[in-house]
Amino acid sequence: MKARVHVMLKTGVLDPQGDAVRHALGALGFDGVQGVRQGKVIELDLAPGTTEATVSEMCEKLLANTVIESYRIEMV
């Protein structure tokens, strides 16, 4: 069993990496990009029986900084 955890900065939190990507895309001629938010995807290989609640606990304790980041769990 696998889980994918998608971690993104919360709305309103500045995203300097996203801004750098947006500027770089503009410099490469991709003028249609108005904004970029950059996040991360963490893929976990889980033992059978591991619950989404356990993965959520992992996110709360380590995988996401819940003060400035939100996360979404996808059990695969």
User: In the structure, what pLDDT confidence band is assigned to residue 72 with cuts at 50, 70 and 90?
Assistant: very high
Interatomic CA distance for residues 76 and 73, integer angstroms? 9
- Decide: 17 and 69 in contact? Cβ < 8 Å: no
Structure pTM? 0.88
Query: How much is the pLDDT for 64?
Result: 98
Q: What is the CATH number of domain 2-75?
A: 3.30.1280.10
User: Which amino acid does the sequence have at 37?
Assistant: R
Please, is 44 exposed, middle or buried when counting C-beta atoms within 10 Å of its C-beta (0-12, 13-18, 19+)? middle
Percent of the chain with pLDDT over 70: 100
Six-digit token string for 55 = 């993965």
Query: How much is the pLDDT for 16?
Result: 97
**Alpha-carbon torsion, ordered 39, 44, 50, 51, to 10 deg:** 20
The arithmetic mean of pLDDT across residues 44-71, rounded, is: 98
